[in-house]
Amino acid sequence: MMKGVSERVKEKVLSLGFSHAGIAPAGPLEEEAVHLREWLARGYQASMAWMERSSREDPRRVLSGARSVIVTAMNYYTPVRHQEEAGVGKVSRYAWGEDYHRVVLRKLNELQAWVEKEFPGERALAYVDTGPLAEKALAVRAGIGWQGKHTNVITTDRGSWVFLGEVVTTLDIPQDVPALDHCGSCTLCIEACPTGAIVEPYVVDSARCLSYLTIEHRGPVNQPPAYEGWIYGCDICQDVCPWNEKFAQPSSEPAFQPRQGNVAPRLEEWEKMTEEGFREKFAGSPIRRAKWEGLLRNVRIVQAQQPGTAREV
């Protein structure tokens, strides 16, 4: 029996090493666009002006004639724990290994080429989260998972430890059933956030989020909140999620295995890192996103907040 288009596409996605595949229609995200505009109106994007791109409201604005969005997810979980001790910092789990943008985009480019070869005359365009797409909303529409109260996408079989990626295409593919919300009455992520950045269920004020402050924010941090040892990103809201506790599985992607020293970085060593040393150590790493000045600022803030390791901020 001849396989359908959707089945062929999904088989290809999984063969590339992705853990999930789903299909969303390439139409306007009207309800999601309303929520996005409200979020922007409240200034919760902080300095992330790229969140204001109107193409996020309709995938057809990035590819004329688009009919479908192939949404993928790749599991990146590694079963290693952060260290809770003085003189040691914490790096978000997603940044322990290689830069996922490179890893995921390489596979998505292969998927894009496959679509255009298998279906002559059709066009396709690959994106990771640097592209102007509302990828979380598309992941929900494609049945990959639901957007939790911490705003990360949660899958029923891997939790939220997944990287999303998309291929927008003119190929007409039967769409999947959107994912249902399974957060229920749970509010653990909201209660655990040390800065109160999850101002209400499903709404995050970026300016108060440790991930934003340690990665995207440029310049000094006036009156820094409690960093809880985080010098790059923050995993607290995901660490406390019951879906992660129950369903997290080790990733099969070698590139996501932790680099030496990234799981439990010694603050004193990282504080002494020169700009050249920063570029060399973090070549091909997501940590470069924070830039040398930003990482050094974060290290000094955490040192000032840890007993016995105080430094000037």
Residues 246-256 have a mean pLDDT of 97
Alpha-carbon span 89 to 268, nearest angstrom: 10
- Domain ranges in the chain are 5-84+93-169, 188-305
Q: Which of 18-27, 56-65, 235-244, 296-305 has the lowest mean pLDDT?
A: 56-65
Distances (CA, A) of 172 to 128, 136, 178, 272: 21, 21, 17, 54
Per-residue pLDDT tens digits for 147-172: 999 999 999 999 999 999 999 999 99
Locate 159 and state its tokens: 């939790």
Residue 313: pLDDT band by 50, 70, 90 thresholds?
very low
Q: Are 89 and 299 in contact (CB under 8 A)?
A: yes
Residues 119-123 have a mean pLDDT of 98
Residues 82-110 have a mean pLDDT of 96
**Higher-confidence residue: 56 or 163?**
163
- Residue 51: pLDDT over 90: no
Residues 33-53 have a mean pLDDT of 90
- Residue 252: pLDDT over 60: yes
**Residues involved in catalysis:** 129
Alpha-carbon span 206 to 47, nearest angstrom: 9
Give 43's DSSP letter. T
The model's pTM is 0.94
- Residue 210: pLDDT over 90: yes
Helices (H) and strands (E) in the chain, counts: 11, 10
Locate 182 and state its tokens: 């399974």
Residue 3: pLDDT band by 50, 70, 90 thresholds?
confident
Query: Closest Cα partner for 98 from 115, 74, 126, 67?
Result: 74
Residue 54: pLDDT band by 50, 70, 90 thresholds?
low
- Residue 311: pLDDT over 80: no
Query: pLDDT value at position 47?
Result: 92
Residue 308: pLDDT band by 50, 70, 90 thresholds?
low
- Residue 309: pLDDT over 60: no
- Residue 143: pLDDT over 50: yes
Query: Closest Cα partner for 32 from 180, 181, 137?
Result: 137
Distances (CA, A) of 95 to 253, 281, 288: 14, 13, 10
Query: pLDDT value at position 312?
Result: 47
Residue 93: pLDDT band by 50, 70, 90 thresholds?
very high
Give residue 198's identity as a one-letter amino acid code: I
Place of tokens 């016995």: 308
**What length is written for the chain?**
313
Query: Closest Cα partner for 288 from 101, 33, 63, 56?
Result: 101
Locate 262 and state its tokens: 């990234």
